[in-house]
Chains A and B, each alone.
Chain A
């Protein structure tokens, strides 16, 4: 898709000879960056850079329009349609909020976050004074500092959701990758695992959650638990729903290794571990990462539902609480959450895609 630099389009007399190599180097750099930027969703920077580097304006402007103009125009059309249609839908909580109300609520949530932090500072200040008084009244008592008791803000909730999804994703990876390798290497293991995978793969998180809750309540008992039960419930639900893509892709990646490679390994009499780490893993990495990317996507989607039911204080609980509150601002706040969920999901996917393409390039030896 990239056009190569054509020296003939630049009148020779205008350019001092010394600058040419610099310019060529620049273009080489842009060409290399292009693939990378495309992965990050910043592909529109390439034509801009080319323009700045003095490339054919007409061609680059066209490219820029396709990569930046069209998506922006589509967003504008979407916003216009939204603000035109939203006031027409009357619900018992008032009309559906338009983009402006949602933007206001996003601002309000940010403000609430800042207020809460200020309140937190005041809380510790009051506590310090109170502890001093306590110490004066009862010398010899041990003074402990108590954590802030205020509510978690929207920003805290986003953070909780991210932690939960990564916990679940990590567990899923730890389970799925070794299982996938085993079933890719051995047709017997594959035959054993396959029916179970096929049955559990399509199960919704809403079906898993009650079972997970009961099991966690029974097994996860401690006086001072490191994680709250709601966190563990949500994370395990994410694990159960997101491990399948990784498992299947890993198995596929391992099974489709070039047989010659394995034969070479056999000739060299590599030990089992060396075979796995030197041959199997490197050559199946691209597919493993494809699986991981799909898994994280599924996990993030599932998490919101899990948090709603498990009451884990993340974005899912935020949506549920606002739905329960039923104030006139609730719908706009829920929409802020919808956009937040979407944008974070997109960013997570991009990060995984970047990782995936990084290993794919180095994987093609």
Chain B
């Protein structure tokens, strides 16, 4: 009797998975060291966007951490975030460097729908908001100056408000670029603008431009094209990850005014996303990938960022970020240059491992969901319970901790570097630019605190915010 080939091969995969699972269980229980995981799929292709926070992927490749796990990984830059997400969902890519909002957005069906999960947070912070030279000139007169004659940071959007008024009066739109509708950049930029009393505009089910009632008009531009788009005058400012803010300083086409570290101290940034189907089909492969990424993150932060210079040299290669090493080094080595010559120390500008940066916290996921609700991407009110359930569907600390355990057994990581016994919620966080406290357990109460933004049963209809 002849079986169709695909059934046979599936059976073989299943058998291998079971075998590997048994081997894994044995390894876990005896604590026997250094028996490599049997990965189901050794040849993988991961996508990334040319940004410095793809570093864990580059490091895991260059230092052969992937190979140590028996993984043969190809890293492929993608044109933009939409292409990247679509290619992960349709299986062309095994996984990718993603915006934290992407797995959440895909799961709740905002944008391309697909079950995407993450078991690894790639970094904290790392973004900035840059405005054009023209806007900075108008803005600067409203920025408080310190005794050294330099602007006092953080610069609030209050200083931008008069500029936007001036634009309005001359009949022009004030336009800003961000990288994707569910990007951290979109929410950070909105947060900063709204904290200064500027309405960044709402989304509605029938109008996904996100510009309803807007004072500042936000639109999508892929990260590497931000400087060129600003230079061309199509936008007046943007929010993007590194090196594209420092690129603007060095090219002399714009001035970064605020980093996301100042908007929300140690905010979660990128995640490593795969589809749920993929993770279920290749559990050992997924574990092996997370192991390699954790090792890369440890390397990036160990000994007080001692390896960052070497990391910069890797990222400057044309196949990764490809910008000049000195541009990448500006932010990666713990400094940030605002106005040309105004270089300040921001040691935590890029955090890859310390502060449990790689652990996928439910509270981080819920923050992004609250912002989706705040700006109308989630059109209807949801109970607190829904927020937690959605976070649990997408964020998978269970897989992360399994990988951590294996690394500790192999002697490649230290036990105290992982948050054992956490319930997935960070304690209420106070360090936002507007001083509003965030508690992930009470998302609706949090939404109520914002002067600008949807709350309770509000929704956007007919270009207006209405209560039900």
| Interface of A toward B, CB cutoff 8 Å | 92-93, 123, 126-127, 130, 133-134, 137-138, 141, 144, 146-147, 149, 151, 311, 321-322, 324-330, 333
Contacts and interface: CB of A to CB of B under 8 A. Distances in A.
B67 to A, nearest CB: 6
A325 B318 contact: yes
Given A134-B36, A134-B70, A137-B35, A324 B322 contact: yes
Contact of A326 (B61, B64, B77, B224): B224
A146 B43 contact: yes
Contact of B23 (A126, A138, A326): A138
A130 B324 contact: no
13 contacts: A123-B67, A126-B64, A130-B70, A138-B23, A138-B38, A149-B61, A149-B73, A311-B79, A321-B77, A325-B50, A325-B323, A326-B227, A326-B322
Contact of A146 (B38, B42, B77, B251): B42
The 7 A-B residue pairs with the shortest CB-CB distance, nearest first, are A325-B322, A92-B251, A146-B72, A151-B319, A324-B224, A327-B324, A149-B74
A123 B23 CA distance: 27
Interface string B320-332: 0111100100000
Nearest to B223: A324
B316 interface: yes
A333 B324 CA distance: 14
B68 to A, nearest CB: 8
A328 B224 CA distance: 15
Contact of B322 (A133, A134, A146, A327): A327
B36 A127 contact: no
B172 to A, nearest CB: 24
B252 interface: yes
Contact of A130 (B67, B225, B252, B253): B67
Contact of B253 (A92, A127, A137, A321): A92
B93 to A, nearest CB: 13
Contacts of B77: 321
A314 to B, nearest CB: 15
Contact of B231 (A92, A138, A333): A92
Contacts of A134: 36, 70
Interface of B: 23, 35-36, 38, 42-43, 50, 61, 64, 67, 70, 72-74, 77, 79, 224-225, 227-228, 231, 247, 251-253, 316, 318-319, 321-324, 327
Given A325-B323, A327-B322, A327-B323, 4 more contacts: A134-B36, A149-B72, A151-B319, A324-B50
A146 B74 CA distance: 11
A92 B224 contact: no
A111 B227 CA distance: 30
A326 B247 contact: yes
Which has the most chain B C-beta neighbours within 10 Å: A311, A324, A329? A324
Which has the most chain B C-beta neighbours within 10 Å: A137, A144, A147, A326? A326
Nearest to B321: A325
A321 B38 contact: no
B6 to A, nearest CB: 8
A149 B73 CA distance: 6
A287 to B, nearest CB: 42
Which has the most chain B C-beta neighbours within 10 Å: A92, A127, A144? A92
Contact of B36 (A137, A146, A328): A137
Contact of A133 (B36, B251, B253, B323): B36
B76 to A, nearest CB: 9
A141 B38 contact: yes
Contacts of B224: 324-326
Contacts of A328: 324
B176 to A, nearest CB: 20
Nearest to A333: B318
B81 to A, nearest CB: 14
Contact of B227 (A92, A144, A333): A92
B254 to A, nearest CB: 11
B48 to A, nearest CB: 13
Contacts of B79: 311
Contacts of B316: 327
Given A146-B43, A149-B73, A324-B50, A92 B36 contact: no
A285 B165 CA distance: 72
Contacts of A321: 77, 318, 322
Contacts of A93: 251
A116 to B, nearest CB: 10
A326 B246 CA distance: 12
Nearest to A327: B324
A146 B69 CA distance: 14
A150 to B, nearest CB: 8
A329 B319 CA distance: 14
